[in-house]
Amino acid sequence: EGGRPNADSLATRHSPLATNPSPLSPPPSPLFTVRTPTAIVTDIGTEFGVEVAENEDTTSHVFEGKVLLQALMLGSGDRGIEELGDGGTENLKSQITLVAGDSALVEKDFQTGAARITFGRQTGAVPKFVRRLREPPKFIDLLDIVAGGNGTGTRRERGIDPETGMQDTVFLPIYRQTDGKYHHAKYFPLIDGVFMPDPDFGPVQLNSAGHTYDFPKALEPGTFASIWARAAEVPADKQNKWETPKEIGQYWIYAAPFGPEFMPERRGLLALCSGSGITFDLAAIQKAHAGRPLIRFRATAGKASPSLAEMLVFIDGRLVWKSGVISDRSSVKRVDVPIRSADRFLTLVAIEADDGRGSDWTVFGDPVLECLDSDLETVERRVIQ
């Protein structure tokens, strides 16, 4: 903040290459350096925490590996790391290497302006405060995953080709012909695959574990456009753009009247035109979020076209929810499906409902995986009494 050191601001230096070492410590090259008004904490391949009090005292604690803690003397507190340069060592009164389990406090003498390390290793100290690693997600956003994210972001306006499992970077209004095969989504680590149910090929594969399902024989084969993650608000360049019935039919995900009942949480819509299915890898999702337990799938389900459609949810090949025939374009169903700890695959499918008209404008709104509600994961730290 304008060069003024305070308890709310830290300067950091990142030196990712061994050929670009920090001038504040000898090789091996540190990966990360944190500078406070009273101290320099240099990473030497570790996990560590740094706290700065209102009076500028600095506490450092090491969880793994080791760090070099250096106390700064009068005159160095207002200068950046780069300004210290190779000659910055004259500003150091003391330093100490901390290893896993160590804590140290750097105190400032307000009469002299100097800082000193008042204690080093405290292996017998009583835990007094808690470090929050990161707040575990309460929900995993499936739209973010479809758009290429890990489920904790807000990525939108990307999708998947239901014919190949490849990424679609634009919503492609083209007819997709099925080959009766299950296609792995190899560029989406949290998505198992996609498919287009066609009973003419026999039982339809739903996931990479080989689970299958016998869909009704009268299904219209193939589907239309992309499996798409649409934002809650239609992008500006897509608003009021489609006028003719043909244009509306091609770009239905933007042109159709999806009201607030489709996405009450304003997350967005998963376009899953009838005749297509997508399977999420629950095991991979849980692993990506440090084993965070998944307890349910929640969404809305509905359509904006006048024809008949049906929407289904499977877990590990078991049919666990179905909408029944949706005839009213304003009829929106609530989806709430429990997930067990051993469940691995979540499959969403939309099919036409025996009226001979495929490619219905079907969507899952605000699709999320709810995580187990628990206290934040914490790691206890030790500080000096």
Give residue 46's pLDDT band: very low, low, confident or very high (50, 70, 90).
low
Phi/psi at 261 (5° precision): -65, -20
> Which pTM does this prediction carry?
0.66
Taking domain 11-124, whether its CATH number is 2.40.128 is answered by no
pLDDT of 320 above 80? yes
Give residue 149's pLDDT band: very low, low, confident or very high (50, 70, 90).
very high
Scanning the structure block, which residue is given the tokens 């605000």? 366
Mean pLDDT of 286-304: 93
Q: What percent of the chain has pLDDT over 70?
A: 75
Phi/psi at 181 (5° precision): -105, 160
pLDDT for the residue 379: 31
pLDDT of 91 above 50? no
pLDDT for the residue 268: 98
pLDDT digits (tens, 9 = 90+) for 163-221: 999 999 999 999 999 999 999 999 999 999 999 999 889 999 999 999 999 998 767 78
pLDDT digits (tens, 9 = 90+) for 276-288: 999 999 999 999 9
Question: Would you list the DSSP string of 240-271?
Answer: T---SHHHHHHTHHHHS---GGG-TTS-EEEE
**CA separation for the pair 7, 11 (Å, rounded):** 11
- Token digits for 308? 């008949």
Mean pLDDT of 316-328: 93
Instruction: Identify whether 28 is preceded by a cis peptide bond (ω within 30 of 0).
Output: yes
Question: Could you give the 3-state DSSP secondary structure of residue 229?
Answer: strand
Give the torsion sign (CA, 376, 380, 383, 385). Answer: positive
Among 48-52, 113-117, 177-181, 316-320, the range scoring the smallest mean pLDDT is: 113-117
Q: pLDDT higher for 21 or 37?
A: 37
pLDDT for the residue 191: 98
pLDDT for the residue 31: 55
Mean pLDDT of 63-73: 80
Identify the burial level of 285 via C-beta atoms within 10 angstroms of its C-beta, where 0-12 means exposed, 13-18 middle and 19 or more buried. buried
Among 20-34, 180-194, 319-333, 344-358, the range scoring the smallest mean pLDDT is: 20-34
Give residue 42's pLDDT band: very low, low, confident or very high (50, 70, 90).
confident
Q: Which of 276, 251, 265 is nearest to 351 (CA)?
A: 276
**CA separation for the pair 35, 190 (Å, rounded):** 38
The alpha carbon of 28 is separated from its chain's Cα centroid by a whole number of angstroms, namely 33
Contact 71, 92 (CB under 8 A): yes
pLDDT for the residue 15: 37
Scanning the structure block, which residue is given the tokens 């594969």? 205
The alpha carbon of 292 is separated from its chain's Cα centroid by a whole number of angstroms, namely 12
Mean pLDDT of 243-247: 87
pLDDT for the residue 75: 52
Scanning the structure block, which residue is given the tokens 């039919």? 249
**CA separation for the pair 10, 15 (Å, rounded):** 16
**CA separation for the pair 146, 229 (Å, rounded):** 6
CATH of domain 139-371: 2.60.120.1060
User: Other C-beta atoms within 10 Å of 359: how many?
Assistant: 23
Given this chain, do its domains 11-124 and 139-371 carry the same CATH topology?
yes
Write down the H helix ranges in 129-183.
142-146
**CA separation for the pair 234, 248 (Å, rounded):** 14
**CA separation for the pair 361, 307 (Å, rounded):** 9
Q: pLDDT higher for 73 or 88?
A: 73
Per-residue buried b or exposed e for 118-132, using 16+ beta carbons within 10 Å of the residue's own CB: eeeebeebeeeeeee
pLDDT digits (tens, 9 = 90+) for 343-376: 999 999 999 886 555 668 999 999 999 999 754 4
Give residue 150's pLDDT band: very low, low, confident or very high (50, 70, 90).
very high
Angstrom distances, CA of residue 11 to CA of 36, 40, 82, 90, 91: 7, 10, 11, 20, 17
Distinct helix (H) and strand (E) counts, the chain: 5, 29
**CA separation for the pair 264, 346 (Å, rounded):** 22
Domain ranges of the chain: 11-124, 139-371
